[in-house]
Chains A and B, each alone.
Chain A
Amino acid sequence: MIANSLQDTITAVSTPRGTGAIAVIRMSGRASFAIAAKVFSGTRDFYAIDPRMAVHGHIAKEGGVNEEDRRIIDEVILTKFKSPNSYTGEDVVEISCHGSRYIVHEILGLLTATGARLAEPGEFTKRAFLNGKMDLLQAEGVADIIAAQTQASLQLSISQASGKLSTKLRRLREDIKNYCASLEMELDFSEEDVEFIDRKELVRTIEMSQKEISSLIESFRFGKIMREGVRLVIVGRPNVGKSSLLNALLQEDRAIVTEVAGTTRDSLEEKLDIHGVLFRVTDTAGLRETEDRVEKFGVMRTEKLLESAEVVVLVIDGSEGLTIQDIHILESLTKADSALDRKVLVTINKSDLPLKVFQQSMSQDYQVETIEISAKTSQGIKGLERKLVDLAMGGQEAQMESIIGKTRHKNALEKAEGFLRAAKDSIVQNYPADLVAVDLRASLSSIGEITGEVTNEEILQDIFSKFCIGK
């Protein structure tokens, strides 16, 4: 394993788990001022800010060529602490932003892209201790903190990347280990009677791994949700209470004011922050088979929306009972569900009136998530919100720590991809194998940050098992 250096600049959320009104992001290390200066624009120039003075401003992503592309992530309060007068004893910047997971994720992403790395569990405390800031604390206390935080983050590590994802990661590790082994074989066993890997073939396989990594990064559902929000579509027959439901949700939650890149500015789309998760909600025209031309257009649009939805809420008028139309819509939604990877939630509305449809029988008969609410009295809306967040997050405990976990994975994958690209360049430029190996090994160790380190012994084992080595 390679331990992280004390010379790095580190960052993390330092407010407790869950979503509060604000979140505090802390950054510590010798580059923290330089990084903050790049991403913060406030009433005063960053370097002119006095230490320990809270300053108002914006965190923004730099534009490309055009200054207009500069994108504001959030309005924040920033405080800087000059070494040694800080929590860790190093230069520290603290950013208080809105407590939305989406915003926290964006800011952390920006800081790591600008030169910081995510802190290890307990790393701020460790640095504080090593810099003599915590004389009163027993070393054991610090050790306990590190151990406890590691324990918590371990649970969120590879185990989180369950199922398909972890299979993919393992395969990726194997593939890259294979290239490393085949190059190392050339270097350590060139005198042997074995064939060397063809360079064109090597480039081709590296490119396949690059693609694999890109799709993995993309597939971080959570990451995508953080970036773009959850597309939520409300469907149902006319007059079952779709609009009232949307209004009820809007009353409960503040609408997000921040513009998100790449979102369509659909006038029907409302943005909601539910427990820190951004939902982009569309109320649809009534879904029913119709001959009316205008309405038909509306229905076609609805079908398009449904295709891109991550969560679909089907509203049923519980006081009226289940109609044939309701069943048709439900069946068409659940049939397509397997291919489209979207979640369906049946919402039995009007629970303030005597109900003719019941949650339990719906769940049993149609194998769908079901909830009873009243849009009119807001009864059950809290439960609905929790359900929506659960569905969007794939049932994951949607907490700050899991964002860190995911961001860590993504960073590691991006690094691995960068090294693969460099290795490929070296091969194309005809660099000797020992130089190509530098980047391949670096890429392998980046993947190893997620899947566990790949040791020299493992690489040699691979060579010995595949090639007849030894004079």
Chain B
Amino acid sequence: MSSKENEFDVIVIGAGHAGCEAALAAARMGAKTLLTTINLFTIAQMSCNPAIGGLAKGQLVREIDALGGEMGLIADDSGIQFRMLNKSKGPSVWSPRSQNDRIGYSMRMKKSIEQQPNLYLRQHHIAGIIVTNGRVQGIVTDIGTNIASKAVILCAGTFLCGLIHVGLSHFPGGRSGELPSLGLSEQLQQLGFEAGRLKTGTPPRIDGKSIDFASTKLQSGDEDPQPFSYRHHRIDVEQLPCYLTNTNAETHAILKSGLDRSPLYAGVIKGKGPRYCPSIEDKIFRFYDKPSHQIFLEPEGRDSREFYLNGFSTSLPEDIQVRAIRTIPGMERAAITRLGYAIEYDYFPPHQLKPTLETKLVENLFFAGQINGTSGYEEAAAQGLMAGINAVLKIRGEAPFILDRSEAYIGVLIDDLVTKSLAEPYRIFTSLAEHRLLLRQDNADLRLMHHGYRFGLIPKETFLSVKKKREQIETSIKALQNFRPAVEKINPLLEQVGSTPLRASESMAKLLKRPEIHLADFSSLSTDALFQDSGDHFWQGVREQVEIEIKYEGFLQRQREQIEKMRELEDLIIPENLDYSQLRSISSEGKEKLSRTRPRTLGQASRILGVSPSDIAILMVYIHSGNKHRKAEVSRET
């Protein structure tokens, strides 16, 4: 090969959910990008459940989409069932979720990558990275090929020293049936990176022919399925159902009888597992008085008869898995196609990263996805996208792209990762976002699309339509504040929706504050498109925003004020080379924690456990005295 062929701007190692987004973003921003993977047939593989989105995760997918990422588009194209979760709650926690065709998802992502100019895809097992003078120069494959690059993004998932457990037997693997990545983790540790060990697990897959669906409960998709992507206006596919069943006392008794051969309880597994995603044996052990646990049967794909046994993650021995499953209604004759297993893998505690996901130790080396201790495809994809963008910005010498906690779930996710210490694999929750009411799935386009456009990841026409939407929302809210329908006109309509009639005329905006009032119920009042439920995508979006803004005005306003108050800390950048040990007056615990995390802003510093308010006050004085402060270069379009 000529040397030119082995020279890249950006190399992404690993083609999972993080790696694919990273590579696509870098290539779309104009960087010559190489994406390497151990196996070209398992691109964007869904290692666990065949689903995208869900509570808080759905918000992440919308944000990825608004920034010009790929996940939303592909989830839409490969979806076999769509549901909006939490619809009985307020709009801030509505979350889209889809069931997906596992192979379809992978193939669709492969297509996007193969069609992307500037992006090269190669099957390699990477033995190490090349580092000179604290800066990454490229990678070395296991057959000794050197490939040069200006930046490397490592997205190794669960593959670093992956060890799979089924019962007391265990063997090296990156995922069921796939090889692990060996050598790379050791090299990184030799370079000085601190590594840790985590654990996760997955349930068995069942042959659909062997399931008696009549004994289960049907769970269908939404009648009005909504796409993830803002670039899609509707979903037009036939949806497949999921099925619900339950474990019982007999199941639990069999599971218990196998606990002595559980790698978890026998102490074979050392890595820490996620509490929010416990194995079935963990559930019956910790919540022994719960007589039954829900099990979801999720189709693996449109053309597949395999089912994913959601809720039954296990690493118990094969004989126990088979016997326990057969006690579940509908599963009496169940045939397991793939066993459930647990996997342990190396990760690198993410306090070693900057908020751009660049490592503090090696310049231009970025980590994204499960290697940072997260779980979930969406969390991985979000990091991949951000690492991809930042790698290119770094090469170009431009200002980094860091999302604020008040701006996006992605901001919350990355700030949590680089600021706090992980006790278990990290998953996003809505309760982690202090400005949850503002970070909704319905407004990710308004919040973030201008960034995507700025980096060339969002087409101009899409960006312009969002701009127009924003303007229309403002115009419409003003119009509704001034629109006072006559009492005799409005009262019959109010009665129709069971709302108290008016004595004196009130503005439409004030009426909209009533929970039961929606604009579409008042179409006879005005010919304005805002009132007409014509199914027009643009106006649907405008109407939704107008109603939310007016109905929850007081709450939204409070959250905006909180953000303003925090701004002065968030915008204060701490000099990168600040020597905390030299700062008098800061508490010794504060010094230790600050030195470990090396926060980027005073806001980030204030969120580190063990750093006190007085430490922050003192730090503020030092930063100002050094006269090195400058406002964070987070451009916000208005």
Contact = CB atoms under 8 A, between A and B. Distances in A.
A6 B621 CA distance: 13
A470 B431 contact: no
Interface in A95-132: 120-123, 126, 129-130
Contacts of B437: 434-435, 438
Contacts of A438: 437, 555, 558-559
Contacts of B621: 126, 129-130, 139, 142-143, 146
A187 B565 CA distance: 26
Interface in A160-216: 184, 186-193
Given A455-B609, A471-B294, A129 B55 contact: no
Given A139-B625, A144-B584, A3 B558 contact: no
B333 interface: no
A464 B276 CA distance: 7
A257 interface: no
A188 B89 contact: no
| Contact-size category for B | 35 or more
Interface string B42-66: 0000000100001110000000000
A188 B429 contact: yes
Nearest to A467: B287
Contacts, number: 162
B198 to A, nearest CB: 16
B36 interface: no
A460 B429 contact: yes
A456 interface: yes
A3 B56 contact: no
Interface centre among A6, A129, A186, A468 (most CB of B within 10 A): A468
Interface residues of A, number: 52
B584 A432 contact: no
Given A190-B89, A191-B85, A147 B618 contact: yes
A72 interface: no
A36 to B, nearest CB: 23
B615 to A, nearest CB: 9
Interface string B532-570: 000000000000000000001001001100001110110
B517 to A, nearest CB: 14
Contacts of B287: 468
Contact of B89 (A6, A122, A429, A432): A432
Nearest to A122: B617
A122 B611 CA distance: 17
B55 A150 contact: no
Contacts of A138: 625
Nearest to A4: B613
A263 interface: no
Contacts of B274: 470
Given A3-B569, A434-B90, A468 B617 contact: no
B432 interface: yes
Nearest to B246: A193
Interface centre among B429, B585, B602 (most CB of A within 10 A): B585
A146 B558 contact: no
Contacts of B616: 1, 3
Contacts of A455: 609
Nearest to A432: B90
Interface string B298-324: 000000000000110100000000000
A361 interface: no
A126 B310 contact: no
Interface string B594-623: 000000001000110101111011101110
B356 interface: no
Contacts of A186: 89
A120 B88 CA distance: 43
Contacts of A432: 88-90
A457 B416 CA distance: 11
B86 A190 contact: yes
A43 interface: no
A99 B296 CA distance: 71
Given A129-B624, A143-B621, A434 B277 contact: no
A22 to B, nearest CB: 29
A147 B431 contact: no
A313 to B, nearest CB: 43
A162 to B, nearest CB: 21
A147 B614 contact: yes
A94 to B, nearest CB: 23
B420 interface: yes
Contacts of B618: 142-143, 146-147
Given A130-B624, A190-B89, A5 B613 contact: no
A434 B436 contact: yes
A143 B287 CA distance: 51
A130 B572 CA distance: 13
A130 B585 contact: no
Interface in A1-35: 1-7
A433 interface: yes
B118 to A, nearest CB: 39
Contacts of A187: 55, 86, 89, 93, 430-431
Contacts of B552: 435
B236 to A, nearest CB: 26
B275 interface: yes
B631 interface: no
B293 interface: yes
A1 B55 contact: no
A437 B552 CA distance: 14
B595 to A, nearest CB: 17
Interface string A435-471: 1011001000000000000011101100010001111
Given A150-B614, A435-B437, A469-B275, 19 more contacts: A7-B564, A120-B614, A120-B617, A121-B614, A139-B624, A143-B583, A188-B56, A190-B88, A190-B93, A432-B88, A434-B89, A434-B436, A434-B437, A435-B90, A437-B436, A460-B431, A464-B275, A470-B313, A471-B311
27 contacts: A1-B612, A2-B566, A3-B616, A7-B564, A120-B613, A120-B614, A129-B625, A130-B620, A139-B621, A139-B626, A144-B584, A184-B431, A190-B88, A193-B294, A430-B515, A433-B93, A434-B92, A434-B436, A435-B555, A437-B436, A459-B431, A460-B429, A460-B431, A468-B286, A470-B276, A471-B49, A471-B277
Interface of B: 49, 54-56, 85-86, 88-93, 274-278, 283, 286-287, 290, 293-294, 296, 310-311, 313, 420, 423, 429-432, 434, 436-437, 515, 552, 555, 558-559, 564-566, 568-569, 583-587, 602, 606-607, 609, 611-614, 616-618, 620-622, 624-626
List 7 tightest A-B contacts by C-beta distance, closest first: A139-B625, A432-B90, A150-B614, A147-B585, A143-B585, A434-B90, A468-B287
Interface of A: 1-7, 120-123, 126, 129-130, 138-140, 142-144, 146-147, 150, 184, 186-193, 429-435, 437-438, 441, 455-457, 459-460, 464, 468-471
